[in-house]
Amino acid sequence: SNVTGVLATEEELTSPGYWARHIRQAVRFHDGVRHLVGLGVTTFLEAGPDGVLAAMAQETLEAEGRDDAQALTLLRRDHPEAETLVKALGTLHSRGVRVDWEAFFEGTGARRVPLPTYAFQHERYWLQPTAPEDGGTGPDATGHPLLGTAVPVAGTGQTVFTSRLSRRTHGWIDDHTVLGTAVLPASALVEAAVRAADEVGAGHLESLTVHRPLVLPDHGTARLQTVVGAPDETGRRPFTVHVVADGTEPDRAAHAEGVLGTPTDPAPATVPDGLSDAGEAHLDEGLLPDSAAHGLHPALLERAVRGIAGEPPAGTIRVPAAWQGVRLHATGASVVRVRVAPADGDAVSVQLTDATGQPVLTVDRLAFEDLPEDRFAPADGAHQPLLHLRWTPLTTAAPGAPVRWAVLGASQTGLDAERYATLTDLGDAVAAGTAVDAVLAEPGPDRTGDAEDTMDVVGSTHRAALETLDLVQRWLADERLTDTRLVVLTRGGTAAVPQEPADPAAAAVWGLVRSAQAEAPERIVLVDAAADGAPSGELLNALLSSGEPQAALRDDTVLLPRLHRTGPQDPEARTAGHAPADAPTIGARGTVLVTGAGGALAAQITRHLVTAHGVTRLLLLDRRDEESWYDPKLPAHLRESGAEATVVQCDAADRDALAAVLAGVPEEHPPAAVVHLAGIVRNALLPTLTPDELTAVLRAQADAAWHLHDLTRDRDLSAFVLFSSHTGVIGGPGQANYAAAGAFLDGLAQHRAAHGLPATSVAWGLWDIDGDINADLDERDRNRFLREGFRQVTPDEGTRLLDAALRMDAPALVALPVEPAVMRANGLVPAVLSTLAGVVNRRGATAAGPADGGLAGRLAGLDAEERREAVLALVRTEVAAVLGHAEPGAVEADRAFQEMGFDSMTAVELRNRLGERAGVRLPATLAFDHPSPAALTAHLLELLTPEDAAGRPPALSALDTLEAALADGPADDPGREELVVRLQMLVSRLTAGADSQEDMTSRIEAASAEEIFAMIDTELDGIGDPTH
């Protein structure tokens, strides 16, 4: 208050007497600023036409010695308003004030981008010319923003209109969002259909029915395809409308369809009587330039219709779904008067007129439909990424060379092959000259039959996983087997055909080996046979010839796993939008048991269970005490929301303790649902993964899940929800134990489903939350995840996806936001993702040495220096990709990988990328054995051009070793200066004269590596001696 110099009260501000005093008495602005400073205010903002008050406030702040405080102004006289406004917002943001940047950038197409992954990255951002949209130019262009290009289909009478839509190019779509999702309004389809009728010579829009929302991607573009059919005997033409987000699979079902009337159909010229006035609708001023390209701008029609829709029931969105008798009478309107009249049923007739009362557009009948909110999930897979694993027959296997097989242990197969008791025996045989292309090993569970028939599922799982870990570690460490592929066989580890049970223990083996494949591409093949069958040699040979890394063998067919988006066309999984509206919620009628309740993820999920599913009783289990929870106040918050939350400190992996907890649940509120969130992370690359680390992760997730299943299988549960990991399906370097546990959960869900028990396992990607399983992730890890073509799941998206998964028939789903374009650009797409990414999975190089073609073939035509430049360019390109650099030029050839920020995970990624590009197999320690791009280039040249390296003097190889050692050392090494002096003196002696140079050259060429280092020490030990 400028009257009192302190905070004004509500009574003062609403009293006429106060404002009279304000006019008559002294202004106590100085006192007011000092009072606010005393309250801790450090930022003052003047919302006026100039900066007079801000200047006075700044003087007061300086007089008070408050250097940390600042007074700002939104506007300045004689300064551009936009400039001063943006400057003020930027200053506020830098001072920690929250600015709604989403609102600020709305409609501009701006988006968040990840920061550089390393310090001091400099990159130029040149403006790119706008690419013409479909239909923007060319002889077939319609000039209409929604129709784009018109392509008559020869011999059919059809015309296909194709255009591209995005929130960037069609900014008005942002005015039509549903729950934050951009949806193409039905008015746009009306406009497109009416103008399509003009293009093909049809009459009015006879009918249009919208079957499902036309949801647009948050990022990128979508294709709008309008297909107008041939005219029938009356001249009427059917049409359909499809919207497909880039990078997604086209849906066979149309989003909308309708009929265009006959060309001679008369159009009413006047507005009928009996209509009631429903107000006016205006087109935004910023859209006026676009109106000329439309008959009636969709944004204007959508606003007119929105005003007459009325309020829908809770949890639904009301949309104009069925249009009949639509006629456009005038074009270019920017303001329309809306008049409506009742039609049959709940439908209405709509008339839009201009300022003079003349008709602009008439609709004989318009009917609305109330759709569930979850029908409006985004279309690009970034926020509705529910995927399912589909097993498709191998059809492209070409006959390959005969495979020379070997079998480890007593595995029963149809192979006629030599058997070896141990891996050591096999390695000895290979070293002795025995040719082996592939070795089949079966480290699966030590039991047969259904898991329900064996109580020791937990023990069997641990033994199988530990045996597999030992096998794979020893296999990768044995250099004698580098040219041989390991084929890991399981039985019943996957539900490759509908209703097939899965063995959770064998599924755990699949998860572990999938991660091993991610770390060592093309070294391991994963095969699952039917639980009661033996794989035939013919099928195994076909699989190896195909180059596929994973398969299930059923009957006489090789089945390949591919992730697909869920949709209404999938018999295996119905989307939430096509599930019954009365799909059951989680445990609203009893007690819901939640494990891992003390984590950050549980805080999101339990709140959602209470608010969205009506859960009133929660049994929260965690092995930690409540004070150690991510949110110790969570139980209190849940109680405030109306739920009874009981907290029990219990390790769900302890079967006896869990049984005691379940026995204590009151009979009047029995267990109604289980939500298993418990889990831990112990990431390590497979060669260094310890049995203890594997056991610990399995215990927290797999053991607990089986005990929950075993102790509740006779209960009448409405849901049994398991939170799994995408690594169990795709694999992930450094996550073999976590992948094994996740695959076990997926297998358990399939096992339960096959026995008629409720089960939903969701293999999640990376959640965008702090704490829990993300606690050890740094920005480099997150950027690696993004670079692979994935995006994080936000908490709101995650709860929506959970609800969608619960409405589906599939027991195992994958919730993984994918960016197909990023995957394709990355180049290394796992076979299981190839369909989603839109790439054809082809077999890569399998030879240990250089291939006949590929990089080695390209190098063959170059001289030595050109070869070095080509390989160095490849190395720098792949290093830049791994580190997230925009340009390979940012990678210094002589800088050590360690200084660049490489760790074991990025080293494996670089090895995989270079192995794929160069067509050679490389060790996981590649970046550590050759610790700079220059040293790595020299090594690759030796592999790719062995004929050059064969005649190379040993001295030069010794110098390569010396160079690598120098690159690996710290730049501030105190001995570095002395080393430089000694090397300079060596060069001086080598170039002292032609005779001595020739002599020294011959000595170096004849010297061994040890002699070179001895020469350096002997010849230059007199540094600092003036006689030398």
Catalytic residue set: 176, 354
- Euclidean distance between CA atoms 471 and 474, whole angstroms: 5
- Which pair of tokens denotes residue 49? 């036409």
Q: Residue 650's CB: how many other CB atoms inside 10 A?
A: 20
Q: Long-range pairs for 640-644 at CB < 8 Å and ≥24 separation?
A: 641/607, 641/610, 641/611, 642/610, 642/616, 643/610, 643/615, 643/616, 643/617, 643/618, 644/616, 644/617, 644/618
**CA 1007, CA 1013: separation in Å to the nearest integer?**
10
What secondary structure letter does DSSP report for 453?
G
- Of 602, 641, 604, 631, the C-alpha closest to 619 is 602
> What is the Cα Rg of the chain in Å?
35
List strand residue ranges (DSSP E) for 229-303, in order.
237-245, 256-260, 276-282
Buried b / exposed e along 1002-1028 (16+ C-beta atoms within 10 A): eebeebeeebbeebbeeebeeeeeeee
The amino acid occupying position 317 is I
C-alpha to C-alpha distances, 208 to 218, 269, 539, 568, nearest whole angstrom: 26, 22, 51, 21
- The number of residues making up the chain comes to 1028
Q: Using alpha carbons only, what angle is made at residue 999 by residues 997 and 1004, rounded to the nearest 5 degrees?
A: 90
1009 three-class SS: helix
Residues 764, 817: Cα–Cα separation, whole Å: 9
Contact 701, 741 (CB under 8 A): yes
Q: How many secondary structure helices (H) and strands (E) does the chain include?
A: 34, 31
Residue 784, SS3? helix
For helices 736-754 and 457-477, the axis angle rounded to 10 degrees is 140
Distances from the Cα of 294 to the Cα of 130, 333, 715, angstroms: 22, 10, 61
Joined tokens for residue 162 = 């194709």
CA pair distance 300, 292, nearest whole angstrom: 13
